[in-house]
A = this chain, B = another copy of it.
């Protein structure tokens, strides 16, 4: 049986003390805008007014999706394994960013179709890809629980090794179909409004993808409990991300959520454990269709809007930079008194 760990409320008193410090630094009050809010919440999460963000880790969960059998993806499932090999060899967008930005990278096989044999790949393989959710639920109850538990385990391990900023990333051909089905079910949005071109469908492909999602939701009689939605339409990497977000919150680690796929996992996590939202930092506004509506429904305002839609955790990595700068300002700027500047 899956044990959802306890998540503590964050301490508003610490956030308040952090804002007091911001208000004493030599700048007009509030003039660092969202950087101030970010740091205040980070202080509350870390339970200190001396926040630390130098130790960063990004965990990419990879898995394949049975739904691709319905022709809903522009790329074949083999690409998941090919991309995972590139992650392991340091040859992908997220590898470039993690090197540049000093982020530890972990790559996890949650259920890649073609097995990748590489000692650097962390294996939590559940199955060679999830089930085709038009024909049967994407995961069994046990599979889903195992995947969520694996995600929680990565948050616990991160805490153990002193990680101060955690993020998840995704790789899995077919996972935008899964995510659109999750958003549609969880937030009661028509599939046509929250289904995009994924990695490169044409208009016919997108129409097909919408029809498949619509048919599947009907077939499974519109499940409404968040974990039931995840089990029917999700996938192993998405369930692991849900676990990472719940686990990150439970361990008191500030955790960044990447774009479309990661937000689907986070939306499930927030419905399962609403307190988890206080620990999550939404990175960027994905360019995938319907994402702005998702943000509105969930009352989220991500940090960046660079019209990216790559996945791999690339948006989260860029947002970590902004957090780095915000913390440097908070820590290193002098107060009015220290700097001998008139307050008015």
Which residues of A does B touch, CB under 8 Å? 25-29, 31-35, 74-76, 78-79, 82-83, 86, 91-93, 96-97, 99-101, 198-200, 287, 303-310, 314, 317-318, 321-322, 324-325, 328-329, 332-334, 338-342, 344
Tell me the number of copies of this protein: 2
What residues of chain B lie closer than 8 Å to A35, measured between beta carbons? Answer: 306, 308
A74: B residues at CB distance < 8 A: 28, 344
Would you call B32 and A328 a contact (CB within 8 A)? no
- Chain B residues lying within 8 Å of A307, measured Cβ to Cβ, are 33-34
Residues of B close to A34: CB separation below 8 A: 306-308
Asked if B199 contacts A82 (CB within 8 A), the reply is no
A26: contacting residue among B28, B92, B306, CB under 8 A: B92
A-B contact pairs, 17 of them (CB 8 A): A31-B199, A31-B309, A32-B314, A35-B306, A75-B342, A82-B340, A82-B341, A93-B333, A96-B329, A97-B328, A100-B328, A101-B325, A305-B305, A306-B322, A318-B322, A321-B321, A321-B325
Contact B318 A287 (CB under 8 A): no
How far does the alpha carbon of A314 sit from the alpha carbon of B31 in the complex, in Å? 11
Contacts A74-B344, A304-B304 given: A32-B339 contact, CB under 8 Å?
no
Smallest CB-CB separation from A76: which chain B residue? B342
- Taking the nearest CB of chain B, how far is it from the CB of A14, in angstroms? 22
| Structural contact, A79 and B342, CB atoms closer than 8 A | yes
Q: B33 touching A325 by the CB < 8 A rule?
A: no
